[in-house]
Amino acid sequence: MFRCILILILMPGCLPCVGQATDLDVAFGVIKAAVADKKVPGAIGLVSQHGRILREEAHGHSDTRLQRRMTPRTLCWIASITKPVTVAAAMKLVDAGQLALDDPVEKYLPDFKKQTGPGGKHYPITIRQLMSHSSGIQSNPPLRPAFFFEADWYARDIDEVVHELAKTRLLFEPGARVAYSNAAPYLLARIIELRAGMRYDRFVQTAILDPLEMRDTYFAPPRSVASRMAEVVRREDDRDDTVFFRFDPAWQIKMAMPDGGLFSTPADVVKFTQMFIRNDGKVLSQESVRTMLTEQASGWGLGWALNQDGSFYHTGSSGTLTWGNPHTGVAGALFCQIQDYKTKGHESLKLRDQFREAVDTATKSPR
């Protein structure tokens, strides 16, 4: 039997929340069953509405070797959920008039004046296209090893990666279509550094994380939180599970990965997600929030993937998900900490979909 840690907060005087708390049994039962059936080693799920946590549960293990239990305070690698955080940081500069969405990248990164694409032609890329996966930039950052946490990779500068990207060819004319890019955020991060006059990670901290009181979110987790870090298991068909990631307190993290370098908790990430539902103008302008949640390219706003019901979401390769629905005020997160996207079953993706669908049903938010 796996021990479950449960937090339940009911909004005073709000009777529908009592029903929701009961209805959410189905959603959290999906997590419990997935862990019991060993589809994932552990998971944390959280559901909030209008900024208040309705329910949070953790099941299973954060470290299978040490038999360490997953808890709501377990720190997880959120991987690509970092991308909308990077975009939000850039939008702070848009709000300040230091950046415009339709500025060409080469205005700030002159090396890209020489970049070519199909037919050997030069195609200027805009900031907006970097944010919406429509830039034509290749999928993966140059210089990065298969294991993202190599010491040599962490020791590099964002500028080095951008310099190498300028030598690559565009896959298509910018704006012609959508192709998910892990490399494009490096250009955006470097432009942030140049316009803000500080390192990318420092600007994210001061512009986004600190104002939202995301005190459990790090690019470089300190030694003091090492015992709270979850491992990431890699699963492939017909092979034993291996550990893709286990935090090493001795790591010297110089370069913050703007496409996927953050570690956090569901409670912290949902603070970020709720900002887009609340849209009170305190961190980002209301116009910037609306723009990020408006379709810019097929299925994409700026930083966020969009659904037809007006909700938005992002996933991470480590089995993470966060989503929000401005119509219902519901925001949620599910962190599994498993890479199983090479398996036929891709159980972590199914779990994330099932959890969200059950939450939507419980909160009367049909997709």
Q: How confident is the model at residue 146 (pLDDT cuts 50, 70, 90)?
A: confident
Q: Which amino acid is at 206?
A: T
For residue 4, pLDDT beyond 60 = no
Residue 23 pLDDT: 85
**pLDDT value of residue 287:** 99
Q: What is the pLDDT of residue 19?
A: 47
Answer whether residue 324 is part of any domain: yes
Same structural domain, 265 and 318:
yes
- Lowest-confidence pick of 191-195, 261-265, 341-345: 341-345
Q: Are 166 and 111 in contact (CB under 8 A)?
A: yes
Residues 227 and 333 in one domain: yes
- 129 and 67, same structural domain? no
pLDDT at 22: 57
Contacts for 94-102: CB closer than 8 Å, 24+ residues apart: 94/288, 95/284, 95/285, 95/288, 98/195, 98/196, 99/127, 99/191, 99/195, 100/127, 101/126, 101/127, 101/128, 101/131, 101/291, 101/302, 102/126, 102/127, 102/128
- Percent of the chain, pLDDT > 70? 93
Adjacent-strand bridge partners of 305: 300, 313
Of 150, 176, 205, the one marking the end of a domain is: 205
For residues 320 and 84, give the distance between their C-alpha atoms in angstroms, rounded to a whole number. Answer: 14
Residue 177 has pLDDT above 50, yes or no: yes
Containing structural domain, residue 233: 5-78+217-277+313-362
What would the pLDDT profile of 300-332 be if each residue is shown by its tens digit?
A: 999 999 999 999 999 999 999 999 999 999 999
Q: What is the mean pLDDT of residues 259-287?
A: 99
Residue 12 has pLDDT above 90, yes or no: no
pLDDT band at 365 (very low <50, low <70, confident <90, very high): low
Measured between alpha carbons, how far is 57 from 42 in angstroms, rounded to an integer? 11
- CATH at 334: 3.40.710.10
**156 and 98 share a domain?**
yes
Q: Are residues 250 and 349 in the same domain?
A: yes
List, in order, residues 6 or more apart from 142 with CB less than 8 Å away.
161, 164, 165, 167, 168, 183
Total tally of structural domains belonging to the chain = 2
Question: Is 149 within a domain?
Answer: yes
Closest by CA to 180, choosing from 140, 145, 144, is: 140
Helices H / strands E in the chain, number of each: 10, 13
**One domain, residues 172 and 44:** no
Q: Write the CA distances from 298 to 129, 174, 294, 295, integer angstroms.
A: 12, 13, 11, 7
Instruction: Using the predicted structure, report yes or no on whether residue 7 has a pLDDT greater than 80.
Output: no
Instruction: Give the residue, 91 or 152, on which the prediction is more confident.
Output: 91
221 with 353, same domain: the answer is yes
Question: Residue 148: pLDDT band by 50, 70, 90 thresholds?
Answer: confident
Same domain, 49 and 109: no
Do 126 and 230 fall into the same domain? Answer: no
Residue-level pLDDT at 160 = 98
* Final residue before a domain boundary, out of 156, 185, 205: 205
Question: Residue 342's pLDDT band (boundaries 50, 70, 90)?
Answer: confident
Count the Cβ atoms, other than its own, within 10 Å of residue 98: 15
Residue 295 forms part of a structural domain: no
Q: Is residue 129 part of a domain?
A: yes
Least confident stretch, 17-21, 50-54, 156-160: 17-21
Percent of the chain with pLDDT over 90: 87
Is 98 in the same domain as 66? Answer: no
What is the per-residue pLDDT across 74-97, written as a single tens digit (0 to 9) for each?
A: 999 999 999 999 999 999 999 999
- Domain assignment of residue 252, yes or no: yes
pLDDT-derived band of residue 45, with 50, 70 and 90 as boundaries?
Answer: very high
**Per-residue pLDDT at 5 exceeds 60:** no
Together in a domain, 94 and 198:
yes
Q: Tell whether 244 is covered by a domain.
A: yes
Domain boundary among 205, 237, 269: 205
Same domain, 263 and 357: yes
Instruction: Please tell me the predicted confidence (pLDDT) of residue 149.
Output: 86
At 166, the pLDDT band (50, 70, 90 cuts) reads very high
Distances (CA, A) of 75 to 159, 202, 241, 296: 28, 20, 21, 32
Residue 297 belongs to some domain of the structure: no
Mean pLDDT of the chain: 93
pLDDT at 278 over 60: yes
pLDDT greater than 70 at residue 17: no
- Give the pLDDT confidence score for residue 364 in this predicted structure: 79
Q: Is residue 212 part of a domain?
A: no
Q: d(Cα 227, Cα 248) in Å, to the nearest integer? A: 10
